Amino acid sequence: MKYASLLSALTMALLLSACGGADEDIALVKGENPKLVDPERGLLPSMTIADPVGWGDKKPTVPEGYTVSAIATDLQVPRQTLVLPNGDIIVAEGMGGNAPKLRPKDVIAGYIKSKGTTSVKSGDRLTLLRDADGDGVYELQKVFADNLNAPYGLAFHDGNLYVANQDALVRFEYQEGQTEASGEPVKVTDLPREINHHWTKALTVSPDGQYLYVGIGSNSNITERGMEAEVDRAVIWQVDAETGAHKPYATGVRNPTALTIRPGTDQLWAVVNERDELGPNLVPDYLTSIREDGFYGWPYSYWGQHVDDRVRPQKPDLVATAIKPDYALGPHVAALGVDFSSSVMGERFAEGVFVGEHGSWNRAQPSGYQVVFVPFRNGKPSGEPVDFMTDFRTAEGTHGRPVGVTVDPRGALIVADDLANIVWRVAPTQ
């Protein structure tokens, strides 16, 4: 009873705190050289409930010259998508994690965040979508495989469909045109699964198919569970696709939620969710190339060598090696999807990446809740991000939340919406 009263009182204080306070210009915390403000510490961070309202007869807003349509509905928490060589789409559906709450404010934050998630049960499955005649209407929606464990990351190479569950990396043998798995998945390797504060396991495959790259998030915001809980966490693994042997490819990457390879190269890229409780404008989530054996700061520093003085003991020698990310996406936008574009998306959006921003919970003025396009020049991000798919959140409430983004070589962007349980398709009208 006392705990319930405390929770109620703290929740009210939290909601009141979210109603006031000046908000820094969020545009300054984006791009190649973001302006980092001073940390802000307090009892509770500002939070804003997502307030789901559904889409009704509305759709997301896309640029002039593009159309958007829902190609799959009534899914069970769609997270990431993959376009197979024949044009079929695989959708990973599920929600995982079961980390215990450490502090009263963790309970409150969990409550706030839960109000912005779907009430639909986790699918723990893969669904296949097929548009046989290429007209943009997907006439087949069929379960490809079920009884998985919170599948998230997807990759394909040479007849192998790889799936990163929250506890293991597995593969299915695949023959072009099949609409359901022909057998049980084969385990490639176990993945860290204890606690699973960050449960999503991002995935991509090297162009030659030799290696798989798996993103494994931290087990806390900033080591509240102790460093023993962070073994094999906040890392990107390189996994031998044949044997399952693995090694840390990059470390200090707090929560790498989506991975991709830049076309025509072997260069790995990631979007990463950074730490909380340093204020509404710290720390920016980011897009970055990933260097082999590179260290990206967590938990000791952020945005390169900005020291986080909450961590003890400090490690200045390690911080001195921390790599500054390539591009700030903005604070707390919760980037969960990334894919490189091509000419099929039109001249304006031909060179760069699309990023799915799931949206903040710990800002009085919400950030994210959109798909943005980050332009590239000479192989690097260059210039301001362009709002590509917006109005997931309006004055009416939150209609949807974008997660995975995938460029379809036939000429469309595929976007998973895990709040409305929809997969969207955005295509040039010509």
Longest dimension (CA), the chain: 62
Q: Which residues pair with residue 240 across a beta bridge?
A: 211
Contact between residue 414 and residue 83 where contact means Cβ atoms under 8 Å apart: yes
Report whether 401 contacts 367 (CB < 8 A): no
Tokens 């597995």 label which residue? Answer: 170
Q: State the 10-residue block means of pLDDT for the chain, 430 residues long.
A: 44 42 72 96 78 95 98 98 98 92 74 84 97 96 98 98 98 97 98 97 98 98 96 99 98 98 98 96 98 98 98 97 98 98 98 98 94 98 97 97 98 98 96
Q: Which are the contacts of 25, defined by CB distance < 8 A and separation ≥ 6?
A: none
The letter for the amino acid at 393 is R
Reduced to 3 states (helix: H, G, I; strand: E, B; else coil), residue 83 is strand
Report pLDDT for 4. 47
Query: Amino acid identity, residue 401?
Result: R
- Measured CA to CA, the distance from residue 43 to residue 1 in angstroms comes to 22
> Does the predicted model carry a pTM greater than 0.85?
yes
191-214 core/surface letters (b: 16 or more CB in 10 A; e: else): bbbebbbbbbbbbbbbeebebbbb
Q: Is cis: bond before 170, omega within 30 of 0?
A: no
What is the model's pLDDT at position 291? 98
Q: What are the structural domains, with CATH classification, of the chain?
A: 2-428 (2.120.10.30)
The letter for the amino acid at 150 is: A
Q: Give residue for tokens 């939150």.
A: 398
What number of H helices and E strands is found in the chain? 3, 30
